Amino acid sequence: MTETFVPPTRFAVPGRIAVNEQAASVWQTATLTEIRRETARAATYRFAVPGWRGHLPGQHLLLRLTAEDGYAAQRHYSIASAPDDSGHVELTLDHVEGGEVSGWFHTVARPGDQVEVRGPVSGFFAWPGDRPALLIGAGSGVVPLMSMVRHHRARNLAVPLRLLVSARSPEELIYAREFGPETTPVFTRSAPEGVAVGRMAAAHVAPLLAEQPSSGWEAYVCGSNSFAEHASRLLVTAGQPVDRIRIERFG
Ligand SMILES: Cc1cc2nc3c(=O)[nH]c(=O)nc-3n(C[C@H](O)[C@H](O)[C@H](O)COP(=O)(O)OP(=O)(O)OC[C@H]3O[C@@H](n4cnc5c(N)ncnc54)[C@H](O)[C@@H]3O)c2cc1C
């Protein structure tokens, strides 16, 4: 509880509140323990949440900042970390220009600061690791998908998983250092030499559909409204059943 968020004169982070370890509906205190830069615009924030009841890859939480005068700002953030018993969760935030909450995190927040979180929420976008998963994301839409990739690795799961991720450039590709053969990046503005530049297209999706396992893919799409619509249209055109496409919109 050492810092304020934007605008600095108005807000202070809340004091410690009671934690109910059983209920996702209860606000819990989260202490920022580490900040890791991912790209020029995105950073990962690691929190200690002693009462965290666990989550499934793909779920998100609600995060609340409260001002000294009682004004509160609340936003949804996907959980980037895989489920584990460390008592920590990680979020990755894009710095939205003029953004109240992301702006505070990117310009003011320091390890030791406390915020409130509530969750996890949204079982619909969760992937328990039990079925083949085709993940498609753009920008910070890769965050919940990365939790799935990390879970897949941490548990050494045999079930097939593929990630198709769109970013403006290699420099803006969040988690670039962590990706392995499961991932195909698509660059829309600039790309390494020899790699095509352009919007995600049928040519990216069709090969993944062609290699689908006999039980088919469960598709998880995450990004802005327009990206989610574009990607789900590509999937349906390539033959993916509509009722096996799950969409999370950040817009
Ligand atoms: C389910 C869910 C999960 C999400 N997970 C993540 C996540 O993992 N990482 C992440 O960075 N964000 C995520 N978001 C978006 C996040 O909730 C906020 O909307 C975002 O951080 C902006 O909040 P802010 O307070 O900084 O900006 P605000 O003060 O709310 O907005 C400032 C200005 O930016 C515009 N704006 C708001 N949000 C966006 C946006 N996402 N992109 C572009 N312009 C915007 C507003 O219209 C306004 O003009 C998620 C959203 C949802 C619904």
Q: CATH 3.40.50.80: which residues of the chain?
A: 133-249
pLDDT of amino acid 24:
77
Which residue's CA lies nearest to atom 44 of ligand 1? 96
Residue nearest to atom 10 of ligand 1 (CA): 93
Mean pLDDT of 235-244: 97
- Per-residue pLDDT at 243 exceeds 80: yes
| Fold classified for 133-249 | Rossmann fold (3.40.50)
The answer, yes or no, to whether any atom of ligand 1 lies below 6 A from the CB of 105, is no
Average pLDDT, the chain: 91
Question: At residue 228, what are phi and psi to the nearest 5 degrees?
Answer: -60, -40
The mean pLDDT value for 62-87 works out to 95
Residue limits of CATH 2.40.30.10 in the chain: 28-120
- 122 falls in which pLDDT band (50, 70, 90)? confident
Any atom of ligand 1 within 6 Å of the Cβ of 96: yes
- 141 — pLDDT class (breaks 50, 70, 90): very high
Distances from the Cα of 147 to the Cαs of 36, 78, 142, 154, 234, in angstroms?
A: 16, 9, 9, 10, 24
> End-to-end CA distance of the chain, in Å?
30
**Which atom number of ligand 1 is nearest to the Cα of residue 91?**
8
pTM: 0.91
CATH number, span 28-120: 2.40.30.10
Residue 251: predicted pLDDT: 77
Q: C-alpha 180: how far from its chain's center? A: 18
CA of 121 to the centre of ligand 1 (A): 17
